[in-house]
Structure 1
Amino acid sequence: MKSVVSVVAVVAAALLGSTAVRAADVEVIHWWTSGGEQAAVSVFAREFDALGGDKWVDTAIAGGENARSATLQRILGGDPPGAAQFNPGRQYEELIAGGMLLDLTDLATKENWGGIIRPASISAACLVDGHWWCVPVNIHSWNWAWASIPAFEKAGVALPNSFEEFLASAPTLQAAGVIPFAIGGESWQISGAFGVLQTSMLGVEKREKILKDKDLDLAKAEMPAVFTKWREFKQYSDAGSANRNWNDTTNLVVTDQAALQIMGDWARGEFGVAGEKPGVDYACLALPTAAPTVTTGGDIFLFPKQSDPAVEAAQLKMASMMINPQVQALFNNAKGSMPVRDDVDMSLADDCMKKGLAIIGDEKNVAQDAGRWLSNDTTGQMNDLAAQFWADDAMTVDAAVEQYVSILQNAD
């Protein structure tokens, strides 16, 4: 493979042309703080700095909500960072409406982002009213279960092909001294895993009718079974889950103390940092295997407007670097996500990334990330409900469904 530095240097030269622009520091706010996440963001920082002149200044803030809040406060307070990580969706629509973001349309047109980014729903997160306001850097899917192969072997049970099969084997795993189901106590972890089960049980079409179209009758008919099944998972979790973050939970699977975790594909980065090999030490399961799905979540970077032309030039250079095919391959292999373009060097991809790319290749397998349809407030209410139902055994399925339907009915 050709030198990444030489390739991105050519990109930078083409972007900047012969115009001399002084070097600038570009502060980047993000929430990538775990081992796998730090390895991934280091790719971006290294490749940007390798272009010469400008410098990546790292500001890592633990927790997506905290990082987004800090970014918004900085922008509204007149002290914007040079770049900031967000999730694709409605989180930054007010910044676009307020004219607070750098318009990337000329760069995107020059580099044909509309032609190289796939699926089209990924572009839709940044391409608003004919203008590009952010750059997508990966495709993250929640719809994965991560299994410790040695844990299943210890219990003498096969890897599951569905969540029903997993629940059937859970007592055997428990009897073998293994935590069957690993989960952390944060509401987004619980809600995310609940959403994976929902998609698995209902399928893409019914899920979309409920979450996008707000089909209340369908929700009343279908969601009782989902809440009932979700409650079964709790009896196979461990007492330490309440105070555990997601990557420490993943580590239980990495160290074979737990059999399975439902978590997005960012978990793959944690296995990679630990030197684990897919198919040998762990398995990435898209359940049910007969009808696998992926969600089109992920990460985007937006670039708040600046008063300094040197910083603006560096912002454009950074955006170009992030979408470069070889940088895409290096970054996403470290992150556990899939590249947003299909012309990257897949020699770096492991079996899990290849499995995800095969699934997303068929449009019928793609489930839109719910954040495209639901506001932050509605998403927060959904997260709180899932966490309450998980924590409170006295909350009935009927009460949970009633609250779920009410949230949908009043969603903005």
Structure 2
Amino acid sequence: MKLRSLAAAFAATALVPMSAQAVDLEVTHWWTSGGEAAAVSEFAKAFDATEHNWVDGAIAGSGGTARPIIISRILGGDPMGATQLNHGRQAEELIEAGLLLDLTDVAEAEGWKDIVNPSSLLDACTLDGRIYCAPVNIHSWQWIWLSHKAFADAGVDVPSNWDEFVAAAPALEEAGKIPLAMGQQPWQSSGAFGVLSIAIAGVDAWKSVNIDKDAEVAGGPVYAKVFEAAAKAREFAANSNVQDWNQATNLVITGQAGAQIMGDWAQGEFQVAEQVAGEDYTCLPGLGVNEILDTAGDAFYFPKIDDPEVEAAQKELAALLLSPEVQVNFNLKKGSLPIRGDIDLSAANDCMKKGLEILASGNIMPSGDMALTPDTQGQIEDLMVEFWNDPSYSAEDAQARYAEIIGDAD
């Protein structure tokens, strides 16, 4: 096998097995928006710089669309070489069925336990002491994105927190703007509710509900304020007639909407549009109320394939995904934070720097993906779709149903 010039730059160790021949490795993911496509191309370029070939298996739509397809293929005996999933509980059953490759040897050779920060990301890839995925970024839902143009057109200052945004919403409407951009995919309304929960109810209440599964807190007065805020947000988003999240982001980019509650992956869309953080748009972690990041994110899993050459290529890719140069190139375009803190991010924009500062402060929390089963998350998504799309569905009735779901959660 030829030596690769990228080996030193990517710090690949000799302990990671290398394939003796070129392998075409199909990689499935749901990164298809402009910013996402630019980011995932960095992974593809790095892998193609080896003797192997990244065969792109992008699945249009959201993770909710892609995950059933991915899981069905693996269960049906038609596995891809590697696949994106969110690190957390999504892959538990596949691991328990023995269908995913054990990456513990790669993790130990590359020192992942020493470089992955926070350690909870690697813990989320671990089952019974074995590591089954390669975490590649930290994504947080806890952001609201504000269009400077929209607020200037409305003659009001750009808000610095959720309450100021609520107060400015009537001026936006009078100026013909959509106060809050919101796509119609279920995960968007569910995610926005989660952001409101952290900002308004606070971390302790959120943990009681999502980790301890405390139905009394979910149905109590603290969460009543969250549902009241969600009902207000529903009014603000009433005329946001788009489907995909990046279409909603574009409403903010073009000044048609004042704001969007969306994860930091929205940054990639602003960058593709050549907008500058702090000049064209403002980002507020925790809605400007409670500056905290949930440490969700993406990881790659590798289905078991009975071919030693393919397995060796899979492990090469796993090591490459966490290498310093690839981490920098990918995350700068994705808008996410790297999973290792020992790399140069001097080129980060203002919003990414805010995220890095919060991460460094330790003001972080687990994501719902790590705390709730896919079944429970699906029930919450169904509730939020009904609530956001039906103005007659009261905040009180929605909260009562939410408390039932939490009470029945695993």
Distance 2:5 2:175 in 1: 50
**Which residue of structure 2 lines up, in the alignment, with residue 59 of structure 1?**
57
Matched-pair contact (CA < 8 Å) for 1:26–1:83: yes
**Which residue of structure 1 lines up, in the alignment, with residue 234 of structure 2?**
234
Please list, as runs of the form range in 1=range in 2, the aligned pairs for 1:213-224 lying within 5 A after superposition.
213-221=212-220, 222-224=222-224
Matched-pair contact (CA < 8 Å) for 1:85–1:299: yes
Q: Which amino acid aligns with 1:225?
A: K
RMSD between aligned residues:
1.7
**Which residue of structure 1 lines up, in the alignment, with residue 14 of structure 2?**
14
Question: Number of matched residues?
Answer: 405
Please list, as runs of the form range in 1=range in 2, the aligned pairs for 1:114-133 lying within 5 A after superposition.
114-133=113-132
Matched-pair contact (CA < 8 Å) for 2:27–2:57: yes
Q: More deviation in 68-77 or 107-116?
A: 68-77
Q: Which amino acid aligns with 1:14?
A: A
- Offset, 1:348: 2.5
Distance 1:157 1:227 in 2: 27
- 1:273 is aligned to 2:272: yes
**Which residue of structure 2 lines up, in the alignment, with residue 25 of structure 1?**
24
- Offset, 1:288: 4.4
Q: Which amino acid aligns with 1:160?
A: P
Q: Which amino acid aligns with 1:237?
A: A
Please list, as runs of the form range in 1=range in 2, the aligned pairs for 1:6-405 lying within 5 A after superposition.
6-7=6-7, 11-12=11-12, 14-15=14-15, 21-51=20-50, 53-62=51-60, 63-221=62-220, 222-241=222-241, 243-289=242-288, 291-363=290-362, 365-405=363-403
Cα deviation code 1:20-77 (max 9, x no counterpart) = 71111111010111101100110000011012x1111000112212322222222222
Q: What is the DSSP-based 3-state SS (H/G/I as helix, E as strand, rest coil) of the residue aligned with 2:28? A: strand
Matched-pair contact (CA < 8 Å) for 1:5–1:47: no
Q: What is the DSSP-based 3-state SS (H/G/I as helix, E as strand, rest coil) of the residue aligned with 1:314? A: helix
Q: What is the DSSP-based 3-state SS (H/G/I as helix, E as strand, rest coil) of the residue aligned with 2:6? A: helix
Matched-pair contact (CA < 8 Å) for 2:142–2:287: no
Distance 1:13 1:366 in 2: 31
**Which runs of 5 or more structure 2 residues have no equivalent in the other structure?**
none
- Offset, 1:10: 6.0
Task: Say if 1:10 and 1:154 are closer, same or farther in 2 by CA, change over 3 A.
Answer: closer
Matched-pair contact (CA < 8 Å) for 1:82–1:315: yes
Matched-pair contact (CA < 8 Å) for 2:16–2:109: no
Q: Which amino acid aligns with 1:45?
A: A
Distance 1:231 1:356 in 2: 28
Q: What is the DSSP-based 3-state SS (H/G/I as helix, E as strand, rest coil) of the residue aligned with 2:14? A: helix
- Offset, 1:11: 3.9
Q: What is the DSSP-based 3-state SS (H/G/I as helix, E as strand, rest coil) of the residue aligned with 1:189? A: helix
Cα deviation code 1:221-248 (max 9, x no counterpart) = 122211111111222224342x421101
The TM-score with structure 1 as length reference comes to: 0.94
**Which runs of 5 or more structure 1 residues have no equivalent in the other structure?**
none
Distance 1:375 1:113 in 2: 26
Q: Which amino acid aligns with 1:61?
A: I
Distance 1:16 1:229 in 2: 50
Matched-pair contact (CA < 8 Å) for 1:326–1:345: no
Cα deviation code 1:84-128 (max 9, x no counterpart) = 000111110011111111111111111110110011211111122
- Offset, 1:371: 1.3
Task: Say if 1:8 and 1:321 are closer, same or farther in 2 by CA, change over 3 A.
Answer: farther
Q: Which amino acid aligns with 1:231?
A: A
- Offset, 1:287: 3.4
Task: Say if 1:115 and 1:176 are closer, same or farther in 2 by CA, change over 3 A.
Answer: same
Cα deviation code 1:301-353 (max 9, x no counterpart) = 00011111111111011011100011101100111100001011112211111
Q: Which amino acid aligns with 1:235?
A: E
Q: What is the DSSP-based 3-state SS (H/G/I as helix, E as strand, rest coil) of the residue aligned with 1:306? A: coil
Cα deviation code 1:269-316 (max 9, x no counterpart) = 001111111111111111343531111111010001111111111101
Distance 1:59 1:96 in 2: 22
Q: More deviation in 287-296 or 35-44?
A: 287-296
Cα deviation code 1:360-412 (max 9, x no counterpart) = 2223x212111112111110110111111111122222211111011011112
Distance 2:188 2:10 in 1: 41
